[in-house]
Structure 1
């Protein structure tokens, strides 16, 4: 088929364009991988590492759960997602778990759909993270209950660290905007 020339061969390619080029060659789903890297960069510390937990409101959520939840809206119009909602509703109806209260039933259905989407999302996330690790764009290790180590298990949670060209995403965060104080009359001559 047709192949575009690699940006690394084109002089003057920006760091971000080089990252996108690398993703297009090393990942089976480069857009998904880019979204994943961007989300990790959003919560990363200055050293590029994120996890094992992310602060959400007053609580903390495991990084992988947060990433799955953040990526979930990307598929809300997907016909498979809509079919899943109907399948879950039918299963809950057959199990007599629906109360007849439309609002309460919708909450129950959405919670079950969210749990199922999160479970499958973790599989997608792990696959993408493995590709990014092989490409040298991400480092993964686990922290938790007993000992920090490379293998998961025993209540250990993933920690991702941006490496290589992915580190360019750390510097792209927008600075938090402070609301400007409204101008006060008389400041010009006040002393």
Structure 2
């Protein structure tokens, strides 16, 4: 059987298959990059930007920490992750910091594994974001203390903005029912910033 060559859809078509094709060619880990884009789209504002903080459990958490924590379960059965948990357990026991209660010991090991996985996850995250920035799917800048800047530092946190084909992942805003005026935006009280 002869098959003609499969041609990717044009980048201007704006559909999911074109986005997947772009990721397959631009990323060394396209599945990871797609999961990352999907998570960013989940918390993105209508303009496509997400960060620098995400509201989680009544507290604000940096976007990069949230993304790392959200992607952590994907490697839960990885033999390296299981080996890391055993190494952490042995280290804590060797330092005399492992609680005698089995539940408390498991919680202490889990917390240490989470911190170590988050640290290595940030490296993976930065690499994937850099590939998507180069592919034109994401824009990155840092926001925070003093001024916004394209480099991190000085207590600035990452802000990611979906661009190009990646914007199709943003959920469309539900239209207002006919005949109803749009809901008024609450006015900020004195001492509050209107965002």
- Going from structure 1 to structure 2, the CA distance change for 1:120 and 1:173 (only over 3 Å counts) comes to farther
Please give the per-residue CA displacement for 1:83-121, whole angstroms capped at 9, x wherever unaligned. Answer: 000010011111111121111111110000000000000
Structure 1 residue 66 corresponds to structure 2 residue 35: no
After TM superposition, the structure 1 = structure 2 runs for residues 46-125 of structure 1, keeping only pairs within 5 Å, are: 46-125=46-125
State the TM-score, normalized to the length of structure 1. 0.85
Shift of 1:5: 2.8
**Residue range with higher mean Cα deviation, 91-100 or 19-28:** 91-100
SS at the partner of 2:9? helix
After the TM superposition, list the runs of 4 or more consecutive aligned residues in structure 1 that deviate by more than 4 angstroms: none
Shift of 1:9: 5.5
Shift of 1:22: 0.4
Counterpart-to-counterpart distance in 2, 1:131 and 1:98: 40
**What is the RMSD computed on CA atoms of the aligned residues?**
2.1
Number of corresponding residues: 171
Confirm or deny: 8 A CA contact 2:15 2:165 kept in the other structure: yes
What's 1:145 paired with? 145
Counterpart-to-counterpart distance in 1, 2:44 and 2:10: 30
**Residue range with higher mean Cα deviation, 91-100 or 129-138:** 91-100
Confirm or deny: 8 A CA contact 1:42 1:173 kept in the other structure: no
State the TM-score, normalized to the length of structure 2. 0.83
Name stretches of at least 5 consecutive residues in structure 2 with no aligned partner. 175-195
SS at the partner of 2:170? helix
